[in-house]
């Protein structure tokens, strides 16, 4: 095992990784921007290196500064968390060039998966079903022809896309040109790459993903699914495992496909295969996230496997102690608490958290970086905490999630807490019969009700 590891991130995920390092007896080195000088991850780490001003482009995203922080503190490895440089192949190469072990897949595999077009090609070659659509870079004209052929609605997607950016749903031919140029411009601004392709929009569909971990010796472990269909603007809000939509046979088919794909592409370390699941039980690959994911604790709760610890162990060259299908038990739900204002269309609302009292008690886990008195900086992600619960079955887990949410106090900034309570109480969520369109549909009903009642908003 390593003796010292750089944590190339901030916020709750930096705290999460530091915990895993400390449990393994490894020293953690934090990096921080000026805006994070008092942050929890900095205080928890054994050493901390200031790497630049608040803007992420000048700090957490600046490869030479992050590499220098690792080198000058004598680190042997780098854990990237998620976001920032976690899926940047140039960063992986920079680590390797500096004799630093990158805790994640090799640069070439990451590059192949980071480009959604080449990722889909690799999956097709591995006999994993993909969403019908164009098979390479697509012009607006070709997109129109393809849409006529596969039928509306279609989704325009940026090959470099992520976080729902560069994606547009197109319901009819006359909307296509405008949507195409908007999505391409958005992709160019966000990723410096405006390459687009077209997919059939599967609606209604569920977003179900499979967690995998692979070691450097050809062993693969699949850890079951996470159901992530509760989304706002393609951003996940509530995740759970197991998914109410999967039969044991369907689950095994997805895990087998993921395992086959891992072997075909030479995958290493932790990764997540995202699939869309149609109402008829058919599933289609949409992307492979070549990194740790926000919602990984849901899987940890059900399998008892610490995914971050396993990432560090396999990065250090150890063999997986369990392979095949990870045993699992019970039901877990994660709620993302974002500092966003429900009164203003959920715009990010950073600021001073005057009081934070997380839920406690049986079956509750809170991953966060905030405390009473924390100032949430405006420069980064708006997610401030993840509330994760576990119980024997789904009904008990929902009751526990509701109890824990009510126990959670965040004062000073508005949050998505009440929205989550509303979703948990809703009929579609309780029945388990929901899709990626459910949250928007619930909110539309809400808005009509408020308008009808003459309530001012």
When binding is defined by CB under 6 A, the residue of 86, 122, 131, 315 that contacts ligand ADP is: 131
The set of catalytic residues is 291
Angstrom distance (rounded) from CA 13 to CA 101: 19
151 binds ligand ADP (CB under 6 A): no
* Residues between 88 and 107 with contacts to ligand ADP, criterion CB under 6 A: none
Residue 134 as a binder of ligand ADP (CB under 6 A): the answer is no
Enumerate residues 6+ apart whose C-beta is below 8 A from 292. Answer: 13, 81, 82, 86, 270, 307, 308, 311
Binder among 86, 112, 156, 276 for ligand ADP (CB under 6 A): 276
User: Quick one: tokens of 438?
Assistant: 């459910």
Closest CB to ligand ADP among residues 21, 208? 208
Per the omega criterion (within 30 degrees of 0), is the bond before 344 cis?
A: no
Are 312 and 302 in contact, with CB atoms under 8 Å apart?
no
Among 225, 227, 255, 287, binds ligand ADP (CB under 6 A): 287
C-alpha to C-alpha distances, 25 to 271, 309, 320, nearest whole angstrom: 24, 11, 19
205 binds ligand ADP (CB under 6 A): yes
Residues 31 and 102: beta-carbon distance below 8 Å: no
Please check whether residue 376 is in contact with residue 410, taking contact to mean a CB–CB distance below 8 angstroms: no
Judged by CB under 6 A, which of 115, 199, 215, 340 binds ligand ADP? 199
Binding residues for ligand ADP, rule CB under 6 A, total: 21
Smaller CB distance to ligand ADP: residue 215 or 381?
381
Reported as half-sphere exposure (CB side, CA atoms, 13 A), residue 59 has a value of: 20
Cβ proximity to ligand ADP: between 162 and 342 the closer is 162
Q: Which of 164, 218, 281, 304 binds ligand ADP (CB under 6 A)?
A: 164
Pairing of the two strands 340-341 and 409-411: unpaired
- Segment interacting with ligand ADP, rule: CB under 6 A, options 99-107, 155-163, 399-407, 413-421: 155-163
CB 206 to ligand ADP: min, Å: 9
Question: Counting contacts by CB under 6 A, is residue 261 touching ligand ADP?
Answer: no
First to last CA, the chain: 56
Binding status of residue 436 toward ligand ADP by CB under 6 A:
yes
User: Which residues of this protein are in contact with ligand ADP, per CB under 6 A?
Assistant: 131, 155, 161-164, 167, 199-203, 205, 207, 231, 234, 274, 276, 286-287, 436
């Amino acid at each position: 095992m390593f003796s010292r590891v750089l944590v190339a991130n901030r916020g709750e995920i930096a705290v999460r990784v530091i915990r895993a390092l400390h449990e393994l007896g490894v020293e953690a080195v934090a990096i921080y921007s000026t805006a994070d000088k008092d942050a929890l991850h900095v205080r928890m780490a054994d050493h901390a290196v200031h790497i630049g001003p608040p803007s992420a482009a000048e700090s957490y995203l600046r490869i030479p500064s992050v590499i220098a922080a690792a080198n000058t503190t004598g680190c042997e490895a780098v854990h990237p968390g998620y976001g920032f440089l976690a899926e940047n192949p140039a960063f992986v190469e920079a680590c390797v060039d500096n004799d630093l072990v990158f805790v994640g897949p090799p640069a070439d595999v990451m590059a192949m998966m980071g480009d959604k077009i080449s990722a889909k090609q690799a999956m097709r070659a591995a006999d994993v079903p993909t969403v019908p659509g164009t098979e390479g870079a697509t012009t607006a004209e070709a997109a129109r022809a393809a849409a006529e052929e596969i039928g509306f609605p279609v989704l325009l997607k940026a090959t470099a896309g992520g976080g729902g950016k560069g994606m547009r749903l197109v319901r009819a031919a006359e909307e296509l040109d405008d949507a195409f140029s908007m999505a391409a411009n958005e992709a160019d601004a966000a990723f410096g790459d405006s390459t687009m392709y077209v997919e059939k929009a599967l609606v209604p569909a569920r977003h179900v993903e499979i967690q995998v971990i692979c070691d450097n010796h050809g062993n693969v472990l699949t850890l079951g699914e996470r159901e992530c269909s509760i989304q706002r603007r393609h951003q996940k809000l509530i995740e759970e495992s197991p998914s109410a939509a999967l039969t044991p046979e369907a689950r095994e088919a997805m895990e087998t496909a993921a395992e086959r794909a891992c072997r075909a592409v030479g995958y290493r370390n932790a990764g997540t295969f995202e699939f869309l699941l149609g109402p008829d039980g058919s599933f289609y690959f949409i992307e492979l996230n070549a990194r740790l994911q926000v919602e990984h604790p849901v899987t940890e709760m059900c399998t008892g496997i610490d995914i971050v610890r396993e990432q560090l162990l396999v990065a250090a060259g150890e063999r997986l102690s369990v392979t095949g299908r990870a045993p699992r038990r019970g039901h877990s739900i994660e709620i993302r608490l974002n500092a966003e204002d429900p009164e203003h269309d959920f715009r990010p609302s950073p600021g001073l958290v005057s009081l934070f009292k997380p839920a406690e008690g049986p079956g509750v886990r809170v991953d966060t970086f905030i405390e009473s008195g924390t100032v949430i900086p405006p420069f980064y992600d708006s997610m401030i905490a993840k509330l994760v619960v576990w119980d024997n079955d789904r009904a008990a887990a929902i009751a526990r999630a509701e109890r824990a949410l009510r126990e959670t106090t965040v004062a000073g900034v508005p949050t998505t807490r009440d929205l989550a309570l509303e979703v948990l109480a809703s009929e579609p969520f309780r029945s388990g019969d929901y899709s990626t369109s459910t949250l928007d549909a619930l909110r539309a009903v809400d808005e009509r009700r408020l308008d009808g009642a003459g309530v001012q908003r």
